[in-house]
Amino acid sequence: MPRTPRRTRTLALGAMLTTVALAAAGCSSGKPAPGPSQGTSSDNAANINATGQPVKGGTLKLIGSGDVDHLDTASGYYTATYTLERAYTRQLFTYPASTDPTKSTTIVPDLATEIPTTANNGISADGLTYTVHLRPDAMWDTSPARAVTAQDEVLGMKRLCNPTPNAVGAPGYYEGVIAGFQQYCDGFAKVSPTIPAIKAYIDGHDISGIKAVDATTVQFTLVKKANDFLNILAMPFSSPAPVEYLNYLPDDANFRSHTISDGPYAITSYTANQSIKLDRNPAWTKASDPARDAYVDHITVTEGQDEGPVQQQLQAGTADMQWDTTVPTASVPALKATKDPRLGVYPSGSTNPFLVFNEQSPSNQGALGKVAVRQALEYAVDKVAIGQIYGGPTLNTPLGQAIPPGSLGYEKYDAYPTPGSKGDPAKCKSMLAAAGYPNGLVLKDLARNAGKHPAVAQSVQADFKACGVTTQIVPVSQGDYYGKYLNLPSAAKAGSWDITEPGWVPDWFGNNGRANLEPLFDGRNYGPGSTDWGDYNSPAFNALLDQAMTAPDQATAESLWHQADQQVMKDAAIIPFETQNDAMFRSSRVHNAIFELFSQNYDVTEVWLSPGS
């Protein structure tokens, strides 16, 4: 399965969040988040090939299919882009490279000197003001090299909602959270997308909630408390930007050939859809960077190869790492059978696919609006069979809940258990009859017409048939799937679809309710672009959501998120199928391959290559 870029899965997320009244409060306690805890992959978690003494040097060769979506941190939203941004950008906070799932989803300082807390006066008593101190020794690769300052951080934030098509992909994480951000962006939207106009607006307007107190101190003021604010600052969107970036239109072709780096590597060559080359950034020092080791001298990305040829090249050793593809699922069993040490299987933290009920659908006299009907159908699906489509139990674990492992609030339970997770058609049938539909239902299943999606729809079709429910598959292209159907309440209300099987990868892991349950199930702001596709709207859930976001600490939030999950499942808003693992393959000369959830790839700054290879 080629990895779906983050952006396509969360396409509508940003639009949705702009309209959401975020009821977040409390503060980030920095407590460890629960990590992915899947037994199936624990043996592979240790498979990093760390044997030997790390050596510097060599060229790490990545190979894959497509290009980055953007090189500008303001808009880069693909996981592949994140893989590279790890090398040439830095943020105030980041996630460390670690095989310990708890550590790898817990924020650490990057450009900041420490994690702000109320104890160190980083967070004000009311939880609304965050003061972040920057380390003085992080440098841009300008000539002469110049320190990364608080002003650069402010500029990075001010560029986010620029009036070009290359604006931030998820404005909602900022607009409803930081004071003055919404007003600043509303004004920016009216500016013509030219270099002088953008520069003039940025120079002439400030975001009231973001202030450079001095060169190394930046202060954020929030509209409401947000106990995940540091997670937001750890997103690459929140990277600082050098003042030189004002000389370009955000992420245009000229920009892409003039990126400026504060990470250990700098982009020295970029050819769209063909190749990217990074060399060491001479301005970077290990002493200034607690999160990256930067062992290899060069990183190259070669694009234009599908997952099959990529796999062949990796096995032949002519390339080292995947760029944006995964191991073809059909190849995994053979590699696993031979215990190939170059194969790594890692939890992706996703819930993919899952079934969404269109609760507004008028078909079958609005049957899907009834909880009892949806609850009956929860028992219908053979989740093991769905897992087989995606490569079987090595790569899939049946999921019984809305929160996948890797996210705060995950607890292993199955709200609708069936024998071996293989479905219970008899129970489904009897419950459906009890709900008033002894003759079953006729449902339209909206399915994308490529990849594994048709197979999933046909598997569900067979399962539902056993329960007396007829499904008609409505095949649509990937482009139309969101644009013409899921993002449009009118399509849902008209009954263009009754059920559908999308997937979801949270934008970050750990304390991520804002990037997970909230966009998927908060029905209070249902409208065009909403990712609560089925228009689930439960006052009980909404109350729990608000409490979780305002929870004073992460432990309290964790229990509230779990309760919210239980509420979603009790209301049977979705049928969760699987959480998936990514099958990664690397050449034998790659050492210290540490899988990073955030980019769904190995951390390129931690890899070192066999000497003399």
Partner 1 sequence: MSADPTPGGAPEPADRTPALDGAGLALAEPPAAAAPRPGAADIEGRSPWQLAWIHVRRDRAAMISLAFILLLALLSVSAPLLAHWIGWSPTDQDRTQGLTVDGLPVGPSGRHLLGTDNLGRDILVRVLYGSQVSLLVGVVSTLLAVAMGVLVGLVAGYFGSAVDTVLSRVMDLVLSFPFLLFAIALVSIFGSSLAISVFVIAFFSWAAVGRIVRGQTLSIREKEYIEAARSLGANDLRIMFVDVLPNLLAPVIVYTTLLIPIAIVFEATLSFLGLGVVPPSPTWGNMLSDSLDFYQVAWWFPLFPGLALLLTTLAFNLLGDGVRDALDPRAERLFQD
Which residues lie near partner 1 (CB under 8 A)?
A: 308, 328-334, 382, 384-385, 387-394, 447, 449-450, 454-455, 457-459, 461-462, 472-477, 480, 484
Q: Shortest distance, CB of residue 274 to partner 1, whole angstroms?
A: 25
Give me Rg for the CA atoms of the chain.
Answer: 24
User: Given the complex with partner 1, which of 33 and 476 has the nearer CB atom?
Assistant: 476
User: Given the complex with partner 1, which of 174 and 482 has the nearer CB atom?
Assistant: 482
From 522, 545, 524, select the one nearest 532 (Cα to Cα).
522
From 130, 144, 134, 120, select the one nearest 90 (Cα to Cα).
134
- 3-state class percentages of the chain: helix first, strand second, coil last, to nearest 5: 35, 15, 50
Q: Shortest distance, CB of residue 499 to partner 1, whole angstroms?
A: 15
| Structural contact between residues 264 and 60, judged by C-beta atoms closer than 8 angstroms | no
Torsion (CA) 243, 228, 111, 245 in degrees, nearest 10: -10
Q: Shortest distance, CB of residue 449 to partner 1, whole angstroms?
A: 3
User: Given the complex with partner 1, which of 112 and 446 has the nearer CB atom?
Assistant: 446
The whole-angstrom separation of Cα 298 and Cα 267 is: 10
| Structural contact between residues 6 and 77, judged by C-beta atoms closer than 8 angstroms | yes
The whole-angstrom separation of Cα 169 and Cα 598 is: 16
| Structural contact between residues 541 and 568, judged by C-beta atoms closer than 8 angstroms | yes
* Alpha helix (H) residue ranges in 55-119: 79-88, 101-104
User: Given the complex with partner 1, which of 133 and 383 has the nearer CB atom?
Assistant: 383
Q: Shortest distance, CB of residue 498 to partner 1, whole angstroms?
A: 15
| Structural contact between residues 342 and 587, judged by C-beta atoms closer than 8 angstroms | yes
Residues 6+ positions from 385 with CB-CB distance below 8 Å: 422, 459, 463
Q: Shortest distance, CB of residue 571 to partner 1, whole angstroms?
A: 30
| Structural contact between residues 445 and 470, judged by C-beta atoms closer than 8 angstroms | no
353 upstream amide cis, omega within 30 of 0: yes
The whole-angstrom separation of Cα 231 and Cα 115 is: 11
Torsion (CA) 443, 448, 451, 454 in degrees, nearest 10: 20
Q: Shortest distance, CB of residue 115 to partner 1, whole angstroms?
A: 43
- CA 546 vs. chain centroid, Å, equals 22
Q: Shortest distance, CB of residue 476 to partner 1, whole angstroms?
A: 8
User: Given the complex with partner 1, which of 392 and 495 has the nearer CB atom?
Assistant: 392
The beta strands (E) that lie in 332-407 are given as 343-347, 354-357, 396-398
Q: Shortest distance, CB of residue 380 to partner 1, whole angstroms?
A: 14
Q: Shortest distance, CB of residue 161 to partner 1, whole angstroms?
A: 32
Q: Shortest distance, CB of residue 484 to partner 1, whole angstroms?
A: 8
User: Given the complex with partner 1, which of 283 and 389 has the nearer CB atom?
Assistant: 389
What is the SS3 assignment for 435-451? CCCCCCCEEEEEEECCC
User: Given the complex with partner 1, which of 375 and 459 has the nearer CB atom?
Assistant: 459
The whole-angstrom separation of Cα 421 and Cα 418 is: 5
User: Given the complex with partner 1, which of 291 and 385 has the nearer CB atom?
Assistant: 385
User: Given the complex with partner 1, which of 69 and 463 has the nearer CB atom?
Assistant: 463
Tokens 């409060």 -> residue: 25
User: Given the complex with partner 1, which of 305 and 566 has the nearer CB atom?
Assistant: 305
From 255, 262, 266, select the one nearest 166 (Cα to Cα).
255
Q: Shortest distance, CB of residue 272 to partner 1, whole angstroms?
A: 23
Give bridge partners of residue 590 from the DSSP assignment: 609
Give bridge partners of residue 155 from the DSSP assignment: none
Q: Shortest distance, CB of residue 470 to partner 1, whole angstroms?
A: 12
User: Given the complex with partner 1, which of 385 and 574 has the nearer CB atom?
Assistant: 385
User: Given the complex with partner 1, which of 344 and 409 has the nearer CB atom?
Assistant: 344
